[in-house]
């Protein structure tokens, strides 16, 4: 991995996502299987896949084997992330908030003047779409027999203190009042799920996380049906 990338990600806002099998069965006999399972089930619904699986090793991204895991990373413009898939079936992902890195992205330099690091959280791209992709990836892994015995899921959003919600779409009705959190970290309580729950209900499970996150910003009366429509548009390729 690029030197100090994880420390760089942790300096600003980031998601920490972890899937842990409830029974350690040693799911993958070879390291190559760790890589192949992520490549096969990566979710490709918008500009960059979740999780991003690099095709080459260069200065901006890489895909590498470790002792008992395969890992991938990217540091390109506003896209900064690091993940590992272990032979045990554990998956961990550190994913930077894109809006905190507009200042390093040539295509978003103008937007970086408006959205400063550590100040904002995009409600659609960074939360609704992102959490839907996370749980869809989990569903694909589960459908591929990675979590036959069940899975523990933990999700946290870090470096959030004094951050406010940001509506990225100018066509949407703006907030009548500011929604800001005083919490330094928003952690969705770790939950255990059966294989059947993940496969059949991943969209609603992601919606629970979405609602939990926004509630910590003081957005209590949320347009749930609008979120569901956003999810449907993403999943059907209408974005």
- Please write the tens of the pLDDT for every residue from 5-19: 999 999 999 999 999
Would you place residue 24 in the very low, low, confident or very high pLDDT band (cuts 50, 70, 90)? confident
> What is d(CA 238, CA 37) in angstroms, rounded to the nearest whole number?
27
> Degrees (nearest 5) of the Cα angle 173, 175, 179?
150
Mean pLDDT score, 149-176: 94
Look-up of token digits 């309580």:
189
Crossing angle for the helix pair 224-235 and 195-215, to the nearest 10 degrees: 130
Regarding pTM above 0.85, the answer is: yes
Confidence tier at 185 by pLDDT (50, 70, 90): very high
pLDDT value, residue 162: 98
* Position 187 confidence tier, pLDDT thresholds 50, 70, 90: very high
Q: What is the pLDDT of residues 26-49, one digit of tens each?
A: 789 899 999 999 999 999 999 899
What's the confidence (pLDDT) of residue 217? Answer: 98
pLDDT surpasses 90 at 89? yes
In this prediction, residue 237 carries a pLDDT of 87
- Return the C-alpha torsion angle 131, 30, 89, 42, nearest 10: 10
Is the pLDDT at 25 greater than 80? The verdict is: no
Residue that has been written with the tokens 């890195």 in this structure? 101
Which sign, positive or negative, has the C-alpha torsion 192, 216, 52, 70? negative
Confidence band for 236, pLDDT divided at 50, 70 and 90: very high
Q: Could you tell me how many helices (H) and strands (E) the chain has, helices first?
A: 6, 9
Instruction: State residue 3's pLDDT score.
Output: 85
Tokens of 46: 């918008």
Q: Which of 104, 224, 216 is nearest to 161 (CA)?
A: 216
Q: 90-120 pLDDT, tens per residue?
A: 999 999 999 999 999 988 888 888 999 999 9
Average pLDDT, the chain: 95
Query: CA–CA separation, 112 vs 145, rounded Å?
Result: 42
pLDDT of residue 149: 95
Say if residue 208's pLDDT is above 90: yes
Distance, in Å, from the CA atom of 63 to the CA atom of 82, rounded to the nearest integer, reads: 10
């Amino acid at each position: 991995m690029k030197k100090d990338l994880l420390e760089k990600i942790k300096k600003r806002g980031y998601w920490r996502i972890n899937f842990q099998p409830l029974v350690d069965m040693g799911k993958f006999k070879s390291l190559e299987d760790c890589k192949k399972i992520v490549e096969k089930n990566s979710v490709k619904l918008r500009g960059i896949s979740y999780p991003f699986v690099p095709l080459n090793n260069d200065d901006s991204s890489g895909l590498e084997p470790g002792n008992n895991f395969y890992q991938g990373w990217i540091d390109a413009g506003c896209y900064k992330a690091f993940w590992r898939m272990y032979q045990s079936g554990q998956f961990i992902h550190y994913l930077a908030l894109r809006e905190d890195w507009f200042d390093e992205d040539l295509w978003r330099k103008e937007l970086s003047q408006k959205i400063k690091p550590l100040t904002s959280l995009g409600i659609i791209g960074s939360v609704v779409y992102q959490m839907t992709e996370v749980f869809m990836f989990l569903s694909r892994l589960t459908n591929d027999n990675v979590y036959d015995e069940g899975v523990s899921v933990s999700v946290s959003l870090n470096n959030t203190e004094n951050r406010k919600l940001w509506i990225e779409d100018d066509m949407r009705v703006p907030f009548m009042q500011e929604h800001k959190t005083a919490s330094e970290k928003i952690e969705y309580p770790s939950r255990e799920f059966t294989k059947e729950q993940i496969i059949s209900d991943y969209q609603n499970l992601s919606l629970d996380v979405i609602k939990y996150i926004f509630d910590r910003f003081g957005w209590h009366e949320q347009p749930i049906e609008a979120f569901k429509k956003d999810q449907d548009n993403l999943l059907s390729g209408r974005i």
